Structure 1
């Protein structure tokens, strides 16, 4: 869940159930979401994975695994 700007929080609370998203933010879940989005972003930097350049069904997943290994070695 994306944090709500402070000026919208009060408005959403006044509207009650018609206000859309809940005004609360679960920080631990948001941290995990950020980690996943950063990982996907880094994987998308590889041209073969971002554009699915490899058309053979067995090579594309292998490329994803290799890119994941590189990410793990470089970040970890």
Structure 2
């Protein structure tokens, strides 16, 4: 038995949202759920923000579903692309994106 922790943190590495799952599960399905748990407190009065300014993630999260979610949400992301995915896109030419 093992577990994984999915964490959203701000620029100062303070945790904002987290999810704990079984260790055998994939990383990508939890991407949207952990981002939906974001609540950033404002300095003054008002409701907390529910969207971060940018998303920085590792190579486990460049799936088409995650990129589509970020695009629909209007979030700017920095997610490196895996070499094999990049090669497949280049192979498809103008249809590959």
Same fold per superposition (TM over 0.5): no
TM category (shorter chain) comes to under 0.3
- Which protein has the bigger helix share? 1
TM-score, structure 1 normalization: 0.25
